[in-house]
Chain A
Amino acid sequence: MKDLYLGEFEELVLLVVAALHGEAYGVSILESLEVRTGRRYNISAVHVVLKRLEDKGLVNSHFGGITEKRGGRRKKFYLITAFGRKALDAQYRLRTGLYELILKIPFAR
């Protein structure tokens, strides 16, 4: 687990892929991200991160069927792998662990 590092955007994308549960493909991921964060992202950034996550083995992908929409191009769906889940868990533990330290400290004013 040591050498695995998730950047902030990578982590967000991975979380969205996990949350969308089999409905995750480029546009849906982008839209969820934008709704949740309230920020605008470029789709190319999403594609790059997805490719990177797949190369790291954190997600799997498979093509959907051909539709009339999208210029006849298939959707590429992403699913989080067990390894991806582990990485998210590790990240989560790290953050909550750190977060719990905050409660014991009185707020400085």
Chain B
Amino acid sequence: MKARTPRYALNFLRWYCHEDYVDEIEGDLVELFEKEYRDSLAKARWLFTWRVVTHFRPQFLKTFSYKSQYHFSFITMLNNYFTFAFRNLTKRVGFSLINISGLALGVSSFLMIWCYLDFETSYDDFLPNNSNVYRVIRTAYQNDEPQQPMVATTYGVAPALESDLPGVALAVRTHNESTVVSYQDGPTNRKTFHENNILITDASFFDMFSFPSQEGRLATALRDPNSIVVTTSVANKYFGSADPIGKSLMLAGGRMDGTYTVTAVIDDVPQNSHFSFNMVLPIHNLLGRGQYKQDDGWGWNNFITYVQLRAGTFAESETNSLADFAKHRLNPKWAESNIHFGLELEPLRDIHLHPGIRHDVVTVSPTTLYFFGAIAGLILIIAWINYVNLATARATERSREVGIKKTIGAVRGQLIYQFLFESALLNVIGIVVAVLLTIILLPKLGDFVGKELSLDLTDNRVWLILAALTIGGSLVSGIYPAFVLSSFKISKTLRPENQRGPSLRKALIVFQVVSSFVLVAGTFTIYRQLRFMQSRDKGLQLDQMLVVAGPGNLSWHEAQRRLSSFKEQVLKISGVDGIATSASIPGREHNWGVNVRRADAAADAARLGSAVWVDTDFISTYQINLLAGRNFDSRISSDMRSVIVNEAAVKVFDLGTNDQAVGQRILLDRDTMAVLGVTSNYNWNSLKSDYTPFLLLPDTIQTIHASIRIRSGSIPDIIERVGKIFKEMMPDEPFEYSFLDETFNVQYKSEQVFGKLFVLFAGLAVAISCLGLLGLASFVTTQRLKEIGIRKVMGASVSNIAVLLCSQFIVIVLFASVISIPLAWIGMNCWLQGFAFRVDLAWDMFAVPILLLSAVTLCAVGPIVVKGALTSPAQVLKSE
């Protein structure tokens, strides 16, 4: 046998050497090698390599240019690539369809998630000078222990900031109010609505936030104490098509009672703003009335303060002067309770993405957004993996084509280009379909999650992303198949042997299944947690609870009188089990965040508690469990100056046992009250937070909400009768009602949105993975048709063969599941930490996804496999 010259050295020589010299040099080197190798093969090989290297000189180099290498012009080759790509596309229509739909679904999911993320991160971007505007955040430190930060400040903060801090150019305060608004259109026609999004603010509000104005001058619109600015939709609601400027709106009841003249109309506040008002009123009247008349500006924390800084003044010094400000202005009042405050400035654009602030607007956590970003990436990768898998699965089929092309003289580079071109073509088709899909589906997704989403094709970033997806997708999905397919040896391809499937393909499928599994398991956990939160016993009745909004137009005493008889009348309706009035209802804010301590305790023992004013029927109507003491009795006057607390309050305020607590005197700020009873804990707010100390304060009638507990039965009928009584008692009041369980569950809206999106994209991921499995199964089956035929001839049954073929897919799914259980466990555990009351991760949360994925895999793979197994051996064994 002849010794071989070193292959790599020889290839290297052939690669660099000019064709005029290659004969001479290679010939001479080989001749020398042939003379030398008998002495020592290793030495001869080494010498050969050394000589090749020493020949690597400019004199012998070939000219490296595209033209001399390929004789076809670029355009001709492109044409050829296109023809081949197209032929391959149409030759296997099913295959191409699977491929394209997988890519399209993946890219479309990616685009939709991007649009959603873009929307969530675009909050308040539309406001000019948004980079200079900040919201003041106040953190109370009780005995140096920081409490939850709050947006609420007193109304004295804004003007004081403006005068004390030179860096502050402008400071405004806002306050949200809800009341009944009516418009007298002619002598008989009166339009009355409950309005919950009324913004009370300084006249300079529109200097800081330049909302686009429709009519009227915003700069002066709030100068007059009795002026009002409304949004377009409010103008339409009350005035129809008439000119709104100069019209009068009546606000009834509460602190804003009076008649206001419309001075300007602004566009509706866009959804991607943390503001959600539809009426703006000047603050003047509010500060002159009610509790604020006696307030020096530092008592009631009911205002949000915004500051606009002079350009470029936010620095370390600003933080220090804020600390100084808090020390001099805020702390003195609270020194005796050992409370001090810290102030922070929160950039306007961060408000929406900064959860965890008390009394804040609806926010979204950046973690959630990262979660979705990761999902988008995963789905895209899954789709690309599909392409890789399907393309390499066709390798044996394509190998003949490669072999013939190589025989005719195709260079490997050309083949790589050809396969890349094919993947580019498929990717482009996929992306076009994806864009169409996205345009159609995005508004629906928007409805789904309650956001106005749309794909804005005039946005340059969209085109950038599409370009990146096209190029990136073509390369990522095309490179591996291109190299694998073009590497076939001519001799092998023309006489195909049974090729083993590359293990990379299996690894990729495992990755797909792992991703799908994590998403499916995640979906299960999210839904279980949501269901758990909604169905868990909250310690008070939320189901079958009809909440009617109290009268707004009547004076306090009149309202109390009429509600009192309304209560009596409603109780008479059969099917009504109870009715109670209160100043707040579960799921809404408490009425009073108050510092509470035992009357005999030191001032610094005070802890924050939540107080709500209720009437004497509240505890029985809401079926709150009294553990000790008794309920309020309106006939005993001392009862009406006592308080009923929950167990958490007993513990936090250090009142001893439940029985010891009854009768103890506690201080609410400066009011002393006796504890009349102790109830078990209840979830006034969402189950995300733990039980908090809660105090129920008695009143004969409260006029804000009336809660009616209904026995199941004909609910519409009861609502109608309640409405009739309401209208009889209070003819000028709007009858507005809601169901408590619905309004309570609004608190889980972001979780619900999260869950909905999760289930959608988990489904998509599974669907895309299934497409891949489907394609692969059909391929593997076709490949093994002969084997199947022989097995059948030898006596295997159809079911034997089907099981044999399916089992390899099931094994992959099971293997991937085992890998992904810890991943899913960690991820879900992490998510669940955000809830004070949470479900335990149970085994079935992982078992069900495994079964589900196995079942889905069988559904995708089964029919194809069975079809393959049913093929008659005569058909497949006749050839060759």
Interface residues of A (CB under 8 A from B): 25-27, 30, 42-45, 47-48, 51, 63, 69-71, 73-76
Contact = CB atoms under 8 A, between A and B. Distances in A.
B293 interface: no
Given A27-B32, A73-B30, A47 B24 contact: yes
Contacts of B21: 47, 51
B371 to A, nearest CB: 62
A43 B27 contact: no
B637 to A, nearest CB: 117
Nearest to A47: B25
Contacts of B26: 70-71, 73
A67 to B, nearest CB: 9
B751 interface: no
A43 B23 contact: no
Nearest to B24: A76
A45 B337 CA distance: 97
Interface string B1-28: 0000100000000000000011111111
Given A71-B5, A73-B23, A25 B28 contact: yes
B59 interface: yes
Interface string B24-58: 11111111101000000000000000010011010
Contact of B23 (A42, A48, A74): A74
A69 B26 CA distance: 11
Contact of A42 (B5, B22, B31, B54): B54
Contact of B55 (A30, A44, A70, A76): A44
Nearest to A77: B24
Contacts of A44: 51, 54-55, 57
Contact of B31 (A48, A51, A69): A69
B55 A74 contact: no
A30 to B, nearest CB: 8
Given A26-B25, A43-B32, 20 more contacts: A25-B28, A26-B24, A26-B27, A27-B31, A27-B32, A43-B29, A43-B51, A44-B54, A45-B54, A47-B28, A47-B55, A47-B60, A48-B59, A69-B34, A70-B30, A70-B31, A71-B5, A73-B23, A73-B24, A74-B27
A73 B24 CA distance: 7
Contacts of B31: 26-27, 69-70
Main SS class of interface, B: helix
Interface residues of B, number: 20
Given A43-B51, A51-B59, A63-B23, A27 B5 contact: no
A71 B51 CA distance: 16
Interface of B: 5, 21-32, 34, 51, 54-55, 57, 59-60
A86 B31 CA distance: 32
A45 B51 CA distance: 10
A70 B59 contact: no
B525 to A, nearest CB: 67
Nearest to B59: A51
B711 to A, nearest CB: 100
Contact of A48 (B27, B29, B32, B57): B57
Contacts of A63: 23
Nearest to B10: A71
Nearest to A44: B54
A75 B27 contact: yes
Nearest to B57: A48
Contact of B28 (A27, A45, A48, A51): A27
A26 B28 contact: yes
A69 B32 CA distance: 11
B61 to A, nearest CB: 12
B49 to A, nearest CB: 12
Contacts of A26: 24-25, 27-28, 31
A51 B60 CA distance: 9
Contacts of B59: 48, 51
B38 to A, nearest CB: 14
Contacts of B25: 26, 47
Contacts of B34: 69-70
Interface centre among B22, B24, B26, B57 (most CB of A within 10 A): B24
A42 B51 contact: yes
Nearest to B54: A44
A60 to B, nearest CB: 14
Residue among B27, B29, B54, B55 having the largest count of chain A Cβ atoms under 10 Å:
B27
A71 B55 contact: no
B6 to A, nearest CB: 12
B799 to A, nearest CB: 58
A52 B31 CA distance: 22
A71 B57 contact: no
A75 to B, nearest CB: 6
Contacts of B5: 71
A32 to B, nearest CB: 14
A51 B29 CA distance: 16
Nearest to B33: A71
A73 B803 CA distance: 58
A73 B23 CA distance: 5
B703 to A, nearest CB: 105
A25 B23 CA distance: 12
Nearest to A71: B30
Contacts of A30: 28, 32
A76 B19 CA distance: 13
A51 B26 CA distance: 15
A76 B23 contact: yes
A48 B51 CA distance: 12
A25 B28 CA distance: 8
A51 B862 CA distance: 70
Nearest to A46: B28
Contacts of A48: 57, 59
14 contacts: A26-B31, A47-B25, A47-B55, A48-B57, A51-B21, A51-B59, A69-B31, A70-B27, A70-B34, A71-B27, A73-B22, A73-B27, A74-B27, A76-B27
A40 to B, nearest CB: 11
A107 B54 CA distance: 45
Contacts of B30: 69-71, 73
A71 B32 CA distance: 11
Contacts of A69: 30-31, 34
A44 B29 CA distance: 9
Nearest to B28: A26
A26 B32 CA distance: 10
B15 to A, nearest CB: 16
A75 B54 CA distance: 20
A73 B54 CA distance: 20
Contacts of B57: 44, 48
A70 B55 CA distance: 17
A47 B52 CA distance: 12
